[in-house]
Each structure stands twice: as C-alpha cells, then as structure tokens.
C-alpha cells in the first residue's frame, strides 16, 4: 500500500520540469500501462524506456504503489472539466472580453480550472454526460479498473471529477447528504461498467478472440439451456437479438430513480402557511397550502379577523 502522506505530497505538490521529471515518469508509465496493462509497469521497465537508471527514478517516486496513485490521477485528467463554448461560434473572444486569459492564467492547469456551468442547465443530461465521459476515460485506460484502491489518497483530477458530479447533482435541490449519495451512486454505475469493459478487453487480449465470436462458439452450452423455461421463452421472443446497451440502460434507470427521489423531496418540502410543517400534495397531485384541516380553519379565522 502506498504511503498516503508521500502520495499526497507528490499528487498535490509542484512538479519539476525538464530532464527526468515526475511528470515525464508518470506519462511514460501511463503509456506503458495503456499498451500492455498495469502488470507491465515496473521501475526497471520505466528506467529502460526513459534511458535512466532505476535509482534515478527512485529519486522522484518512492515505489510502484505511489507511482500507480500518480498514474491513476493523471489518467483522470479532463473528466471533471466543463465543456466550454465553441471557439468558432463564441463572440466573447475580443481583447477586452472576459474570455481573454489574464497574465496569471495557467492554460495547463486542467484539474482546478473548470468553468462555472449554467445553473439552469439540465442536471440529468449533464450527469449522464459526466458518467459517459468517465466510462470513456476508463475505456481509454482499461488498467484503471485494476488500479482501484478504496484507501488511495485522491489527487486533483480525481477530486475535480467528483466535484463536477456534485455540482450537477446539487442543482436538483436534494439535501446535501443525498447529493453526495446520488453522485456516488452514478459513480458506482461507471465503475461497474468499467470493470466489465476491462475484463472483456483483458480476455480478448489474452485469447485473441472477440466477445461476440467467443460466445458464438458455445453451442455445447446452449444445448443444455432448454431446461430453463423462462430463459428459453425470452430467447425465442427475441430478448437477445438486439439487447439495450447494459451501461446506458443501467445509467438511465439510475437517473430515473434519482429523478423520482427529487420529486418526492420537492413534494414534501412545501411548508404549511400556518404552522410551517411539511405539506404533501393531495391525492390527485393538487397542491395544498395547509398541513391539516385545523390549520386551514385557523387561516380562515385569521382572514376573517383581518377583513373585519
């Protein structure tokens, strides 16, 4: 396990430039993992690729556990970014516009420099786009699934990615704890799909046979499945002819659940005009102003007194 204090120092500290730098080591390690998997990454392999001694690498990073933490965060760069305006259609590009970078701007600082989104934007569409962006990141770097560690200190890119999910979910009006829970739930959908995608890629790389082709050769298995009536009936009815994408289906149903919860919260957060207690809508969905008949009577008597 990586030393969490040393990981924090390297993840969040300043980086040296030129020669053999930490950035160059991490970038090369990510390239190696992308090409051959996380198991191919070692300090010796990196030293050979970079043309330095292994001891030279250890002066920048204390070992593979910390290196993997740095690689993990580097691979997540950009996931938390908010899409900016199209430079070809944006009109705010003149010398005096707010879009012009000032002298202290740092164009290369990806993680902490996300732009503020439109607060009226569709939370569901934005959260779905965030989730799909995360799956794209994991598909570009399949080894991320092998590098998961629940006790890893998060780096700036990982925090920026989760910050983006929280910012989107916070627009829903859910209570703070439920904002975190909902964002974590969607993050779990991404992680599950990433694990499946990585496992399929690993199997295909090891066997040289694609997913569809491998399952298409399983006639000996299918010969035994007619003893299962529900499975057989669904197969005959075309359930497996064009199944929905499992990630999209799971993501959309998860968002349905969050949306239903938002409706519940909004419905019950209305306050009685007399006592301030929560007020539920009527059976037909009609809004109510009072929590009970007693409060309605008190409001009626109050109006009569003020009108007299």
Spell out the per-residue pLDDT of the chain, length 308, in tens. Answer: 777 877 887 888 765 545 789 999 999 999 999 999 999 999 999 999 999 999 999 999 999 999 999 999 999 998 987 765 544 444 444 433 433 333 333 333 344 333 334 433 589 999 999 999 999 999 999 999 999 888 888 999 999 999 999 999 999 989 999 999 999 999 999 999 999 998 988 888 888 898 889 988 999 999 999 999 999 999 999 998 989 999 999 999 999 999 999 988 876 556 677 876 667 666 666 777 887 888 889 888 888 888 87
pLDDT for residue 11: 82
Residue 126 forms part of a structural domain: no
Around 220, how many Cα atoms within 13 Å sit in the side-chain half-sphere?
A: 2
For the question of whether the overall pTM of this predicted structure is more than 0.85, the answer is no
CB 50 within 8 A of CB 73: no
The angle at the Cα of 127, spanning 151 to 108, to the nearest 5 degrees, equals: 70
278 three-state secondary structure: strand
How many CB atoms neighbour CB 184 within 10 A?
14
Asked if the structure places residue 26 within a domain, the reply is yes
Tell me which DSSP letter residue 279 carries.
E
| Rounded Cα gap, residues 192 and 131, in angstroms | 12
Residue 219 lies in a domain: no
Number of domains comprising the chain: 2
Q: What is the pLDDT of residue 249?
A: 96
Q: Which of 60, 75, 90 corresponds to the end of one domain?
A: 75
**137, 76 Cβ separation under 8 angstroms:** yes
Residue 25 lies in a domain: yes
Residue 138 lies in a domain: no
- The answer to the question of residue 235 being in a domain is no
- Structural domain boundaries, residue 267: 246-307
Two tokens, residue 66: 């910390």
Residue 70 is assigned to a structural domain of this protein: yes
Of the candidates 52, 75, 98, which is a domain's last residue?
A: 75
pLDDT tens digit sequence for 109-155: 344 333 334 433 589 999 999 999 999 999 999 999 999 888 888 99
Domain at 53, CATH number: 1.10.10.60
Label residue 193 exposed, middle or buried (CB < 10 Å: 0-12, 13-18, 19+): buried
Q: Identify the residue whose tokens are 């993840």.
A: 11
Structural domain contains residue 13: yes
At residue 117, the pLDDT reads 40
State residue 74's pLDDT score.
96
Cα–Cα separations (whole angstroms), residue 198 to 32, 49, 151, 201, 244:
16, 25, 21, 5, 19
Domain boundary among 75, 91, 123: 75
């Amino acid at each position: 396990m990586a030393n969490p204090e040393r990981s924090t120092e390297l993840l969040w500290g300043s980086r040296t430039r030129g020669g053999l730098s930490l950035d160059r080591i991490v970038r090369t390690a990510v390239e190696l993992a992308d090409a051959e998997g996380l198991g191919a990454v070692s300090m010796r392999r990196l030293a050979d690729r970079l043309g330095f001694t292994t001891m030279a690498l250890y002066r920048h990073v204390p070992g593979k556990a910390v290196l993997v933490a740095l690689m993990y965060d580097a691979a997540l760069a950009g996931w938390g970014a908010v899409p900016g305006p199209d430079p070809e259609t944006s009109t705010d590009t003149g010398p005096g516009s707010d879009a012009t970078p000032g002298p202290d701007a740092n164009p290369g600082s990806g993680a902490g420099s996300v732009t503020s989104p439109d607060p009226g934007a569709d939370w569901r569409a934005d959260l779905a786009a965030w989730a799909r962006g995360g799956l794209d990141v994991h598909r570009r770097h399949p080894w991320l699934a092998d590098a998961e560690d629940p006790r890893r200190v998060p780096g700036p890119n990982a925090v920026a990615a989760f910050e983006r999910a929280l910012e989107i979910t916070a627009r829903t009006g859910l209570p703070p704890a439920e904002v975190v829970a909902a964002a974590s739930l969607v993050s779990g959908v991404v992680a599950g799909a990433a694990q499946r995608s990585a496992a399929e890629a690993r199997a295909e790389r090891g066997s040289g046979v694609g997913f569809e082709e491998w399952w298409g050769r399983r006639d000996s298995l299918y010969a035994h499945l007619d003893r299962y009536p529900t499975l057989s009936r669904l197969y005959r009815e075309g359930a497996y002819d064009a199944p929905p994408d499992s990630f999209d289906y799971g993501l959309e149903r998860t968002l349905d659940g969050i949306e239903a919860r938002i409706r519940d919260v909004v419905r019950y957060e209305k306050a009685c005009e007399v006592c301030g207690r929560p007020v539920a809508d009527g059976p037909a969905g009609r809004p109510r102003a009072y929590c009970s008949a007693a409060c309605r009577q008190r409001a009626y008597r109050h109006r009569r007194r003020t009108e007299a």
